[in-house]
Amino acid sequence: MVNRKAVSKELKTLVWWYVITAFIIVVSLYGLVFLYDFGNESNFNIWLQLLENLSRFTVIYFLTLIPYLIFVLVRSLIRDFRKNQFRGFARGFALKLLTPSLVIWGSLQLIDGYRLNEKFDYQWDRTIENQSPGIRHFYNTDEKQRGIHAFDLLEDTADLDTLKRHNFEWLTLVPYISQEEYDEPTIKVSFLKNDSVPRFGNLRKIKALSAEYGFSIMLKPHIWLSNTSGGIWRSDIEMKSEADWEKWFDSYEKVILDYARLAEELGIELFCIGTELKTPVMQQPERWLALINKVRSVYSGKLTYGANWDAKVEDFPFWDQLDFIGIQAYFPIAESRYPDLEELEQGWTNHLPKLKAIHKRFNKPILFTELGYKSTPNAGIAPWEWNSFQNRFYRKISKKTQALCYQAFFNTVWKEDWFAGVHIWQWQSRGNSMGDNNSFGTQGKPALNVIARGFYQNEEE
């Protein structure tokens, strides 16, 4: 029979632990936020935004239970010890901690065995790696950008050295612009051009470190849409009225001009005025033309825009005002899982006539402002798809498919004379990696060597 008094007491204990844990999280975030100056938006508002964003993640509610579960385990082991001394503690430890841990470990090993059962005997080519102190400056010969989106770069320059060694010559830096709702002018304008603002200070540091190697930089702001329920994303941003459009562009312009001024100050070579904002561009073309003129007035470098591959790129109204036609190049290039190189090359060949026609129409070079493939069997079918939190742990890994996708790109698109280069997605600075994951990252995967060889070989040809 259930002891209601005991159940009630345990529920009170759970609630107490849950509330205390939540309180510690809230206070810790408060402390972290107030370590920084966020410009013309109060730290209190930033703190509230962080709490609101965290509340949208279901996993946070389960993670908050962890301290309570640890408490229950420790309490149980103490009780076992009090009942039967060391023998009771050992038995409880084996049943309540060791056995479940072994079961979980064994299950993870089985899952990894399933995910990593691909046979791919790739021969890494070390001869094409760059062992010199700086980049090779291939761009001076063929004017093709060899870039990668790099995040969380470490100050010890280990990542920059690795990227240099694999023939990257451009870094793509992505500051995120926060917006809550897709149909409200809720861009967070919270920037100052001083080192007390973390993102500005970090950009200055990265620029200084990368200059020692000779890297060029593209600064490429992205809008981060907080509420993406119903499949909404930044391309769908659409205001309800002209007044709201006015407010939205006023905020967006302030942020973009702040970054453009910083790019001018630091001598950044390429600035991207927007990324994957199809609806704002198509509905408000005059405002974008005005924005380009304002950016030109404060920034003297090259300009581009990152249009999504499926967004009728040829209809965008401002290509003649920019230096590059930028495309987020997640074109489907396969119809099957585990495609061979021939299928992937044909997939790219099917897209070449349209790309060439766009180039001819505007007489501008085409730059892939983003291109990336996950290490999954279906990477060529829907390259734009993100991994969900769950399938990062159980979806099969195919390093071969990822490598072949990049090889097909170099065998086809890279050779075109109208093609101005590529900025790979992505590089996460998290130390050394064996590459046993299905993410877009190339660390520790054959794809990294394929890219390095593609950048190198095509220069030699």
Residues 298-354 pLDDT 10s = 999 999 999 999 888 999 999 999 999 999 999 999 999 999 999 999 999 999 999
pLDDT at 461 over 60: no
The angle formed by the CA atoms of residues 176, 178 and 179, to the nearest 5 degrees, is: 140
The tens digit of pLDDT for each residue in 177-190 reads 888 889 999 887 65
Question: Is residue 261 classed as helix, strand or coil in its secondary structure?
Answer: helix
Rounded to 5 degrees, what are φ and ψ at 237? -55, 125
Output phi, psi for 78, to 5 deg: -65, -40
Residue 248: count of CB within 10 angstroms of its CB: 22
Q: What is the pLDDT of residue 183?
A: 92
Q: With 0-12 CB in 10 A as exposed, 13-18 as middle and 19+ as buried, what is 109?
A: exposed
Looking at residue 33, its pLDDT comes to 74
Query: Model confidence at 155, in pLDDT bands (50, 70, 90)?
Result: low
Q: Look up residue 220 and give its DSSP letter.
A: -
Which stretch of DSSP H or E encloses residue 305? strand 302-308
DSSP per-residue codes, 123-146: ---GGGS--SSS---THHHH--EE
The yes-or-no verdict on residue 195 having pLDDT over 50 is no
Task: Enter the tokens of residue 331.
Answer: 């074109």
Question: In the prediction, which pLDDT does 123 show?
Answer: 93
What is the H or E stretch that residue 428 is in?
strand 419-428
Number of Cβ within a 10 Å radius of residue 230:
7
Place of tokens 């540091």: 205
* Residue 325 bridge partners (DSSP): 366
Dump pLDDT digits (tens) for 88-136. Answer: 889 988 988 899 899 988 988 888 777 788 888 899 999 999 999 999 9
Mean predicted confidence (pLDDT) in 255-282: 96
CB 327 within 8 A of CB 366: yes
Enumerate domains of the chain plus CATH numbers: 4-115 (no CATH), 138-460 (3.20.20.80)
Whether the pLDDT of residue 192 is over 50: the answer is no
Category of 16 on φ-ψ map: left (φ > 0), alpha (ψ -120 to 50) or beta? alpha
pLDDT tens-digit series, residues 201-254: 788 889 999 999 999 999 999 998 888 888 889 999 999 999 999 999 999 999
Q: Is the pLDDT of residue 61 over 90?
A: no
Name the residue among 202, 214, 224, 140 with its Cα closest to residue 171.
Answer: 214
Residues near 333 by beta carbon (within 8 Å), at least 6 away in sequence: 339, 343, 344, 347, 348, 351, 380, 383, 405, 408
Q: What is the pLDDT of residue 4?
A: 81
With residue 26 as reference, give the H or E element that holds it.
helix 4-33
Residue 198 has pLDDT above 70, yes or no: no
End-to-end CA, the chain: 81
The whole model's pTM is what? 0.86
For 103, other C-beta atoms within 10 Å of its C-beta total 10
Per-position b or e across 336-348, b if 16+ CB within 10 A of its CB: eebbeeebbbebb
pLDDT at residue 261 is higher than 50: yes
Q: Phi and psi at residue 225, in whole multiples of 5°?
A: -85, 120
pLDDT (average), residues 392-413: 92
Q: Burial of 419 by CB count in 10 Å (0-12 exposed, 13-18 middle, 19+ buried)?
A: buried
Spatial neighbors of 377 by CB under 8 A, at least 6 apart, are 337, 338, 396, 398, 401
Residues near 224 by beta carbon (within 8 Å), at least 6 away in sequence: 176, 177, 178, 179, 234
d(CA 20, CA 25): 9
Query: Where is 223: in which H helix or E strand?
Result: strand 222-225
Q: Amino acid identity, residue 142?
A: D
**Tens digits of residue pLDDT in 269-285:** 999 999 999 999 999 99
Q: Where are the alpha helices (DSSP H) in 57-116?
A: 58-63, 66-93, 99-115
389: pLDDT strictly greater than 70:
no
Q: What is the identity of the amino acid at 84?
A: N
Q: What are phi and psi of 25, to 5 degrees?
A: -60, -45
* Residue 419 confidence (pLDDT) above 80: yes
> Is the alpha carbon torsion for 204, 210, 212, 214 positive or negative?
negative
| Residue 402 pLDDT | 98
* pLDDT at residue number 320: 96
CA distances from 336 to 241, 288, 376, 401 (A): 44, 39, 12, 11
Average pLDDT value over all residues in the chain = 89
